[in-house]
Amino acid sequence: MNYPICTILGGGGFIGRYLVRNLTKKNYRCIIPTRNAFQKGHLKTQAPPGAIEFIKWNPNDFSEIKEAISNSDVVINLIGILFENRKQKFSRIHAEIPNIISKLCSESEVKKFIHISAIGANENSKSKYQQSKFQGEVNAFNNSKNTVVIRPSVVCGAEDNFTNLFSKLSFLPVIPVVKINYKFQPILVTDVVDTIMKTIETKNNYGKIYEIGGPKIISFGDMVKSIMKTINKKRFVINMPMPLARMQSKILSLLPFSPILTEDQCNILSEADNIVSGEHLTLKDLNIESVDVEIAMKKWLWRCRDGGEFAKTKQL
């Protein structure tokens, strides 16, 4: 019996670990390019022996990836970064790599290339992140006729960098939030994975864009307050003026660790809300009912409560 083969770029990341589990349940053989295979061994515990294969990832040499793609039925690109550093630039990660991968998919006549972008991707944005996301989409569509793009809003889950970040910041008596009224549509990581799985199964969706978000549109300020309520901590959530936020981002960029806020993110927050536009296909077109992140996050944020999972709930 010939099992379908799927190459997943970024398969060892946040979304990737959930996606690999679902693909192997559907009898897919998963090929995951990675620089450090020894750090991704946990993925193999999610599937039968032989269902997951690691190959060497070299951003300057795509020979091994080319061979993997040539044998694949589906290729999924999950690679993305939230901020730049000396080694990783938005243009390289979000635009050039999708350009190369989509060309390889076209040459190998891959049945479907799924590219994960982001809501807000726009060539006219002041944000380099959003510009590069848009250019990646253009490159993918131009190079491979079998491309499908998925644009999620902020993705949340047990390992995310959003709910967990603000939970850790709860040691502060006052939590400043940039653009406190900025609206977004947080979506659970399992819903994103369900979207990818349905996109693979759906026929004749080539050249389409899916914009996906959770069931609720909420402001940053209200979401942070909801996180505080979930972990039983009463904190003052205040708005940080944009000029002060930009100044802070420049200072943080000088420090030798991952920044909490970047100037490019300030540009994103100064533009349109991060919500489904209604101009493209959505979860409804895939018959997916998304889960409310505010309810789901109780399953992983309990560890941030003072008394742990079984701490008594306080009336805040």
Residue 70: pLDDT band with limits 50, 70, 90: very high
Backbone angles phi, psi at 207, to 5 degrees: 80, 10
134-139-144 Cα angle (round to 5): 130
Q: What's the chain look like in SS3?
A: CCCCEEEEECCCCHHHHHHHHHHHHCCCEEEEEECCHHHCHHHHHHCCCCCEEEEECECCECHHHHHHHHCCCEEEECCCCCCCCCCCCHHHHHHHHHHHHHHHHHHCCCCEEEEECCCCCCCCCCCHHHHHHHHHHHHHHHHCCCEEEEEECCEECCCCCCHHHHHHHHHCCEEEEECCCCEECCEEHHHHHHHHHHHHHCCCCCCCEEEECCCCCEEHHHHHHHHHHHCCCCCEEEEECHHHHHHHHHHHCCCCCCCCCCHHHHHHHCCCCECCCCCCECHHHHCCCCCCHHHHCHHHHHHHCCCCCCCCCCCC
| 39-62 confidence digits (pLDDT tens) | 888 888 888 888 999 998 887 888
Question: Are the beta carbons of 57 and 33 closer than 8 angstroms?
Answer: yes
What number of other Cβ atoms are within 10 A of residue 67's Cβ? 15
Instruction: State how far the Cα of 72 lies from the Cα of 30, in Å rounded to an integer.
Output: 9
Torsion angles phi and psi, residue 262, rounded to 5: -120, 165
Query: How much is the average pLDDT of 307-311?
Result: 66
Residue 246 burial (10 A CB sphere; 0-12, 13-18, 19+): middle
How sure is the predictor about 310, in pLDDT bands with cuts at 50, 70 and 90? low
From residue 213, how far is each of 163, 184, 216 by CA, in Å? Answer: 16, 8, 8
Alpha-carbon gap, residue 94 to 83, rounded angstroms: 11
- pLDDT at position 263 over 90: yes
- Summarize pLDDT for 203-233 with one digit per residue, the tens: 999 999 999 999 999 999 999 999 999 999 9
114, two tokens = 């799924």
pLDDT digits (tens, 9 = 90+) for 3-41: 899 999 999 999 999 999 999 999 999 999 998 887 888
Distance CA 293, CA 212 (A): 14
Q: Tokens standing for 239?
A: 């708005």
Structural domains in the chain, sorted by start = 5-156+186-215+275-286 (3.40.50.720)
When pLDDT is averaged across residues 85-109 and rounded to a whole number, the result is 95
The yes-or-no verdict on residue 312 having pLDDT over 70 is no
pLDDT score of 142: 97
Rounded to whole angstroms, the Cα distance separating 238 from 220 reads 11
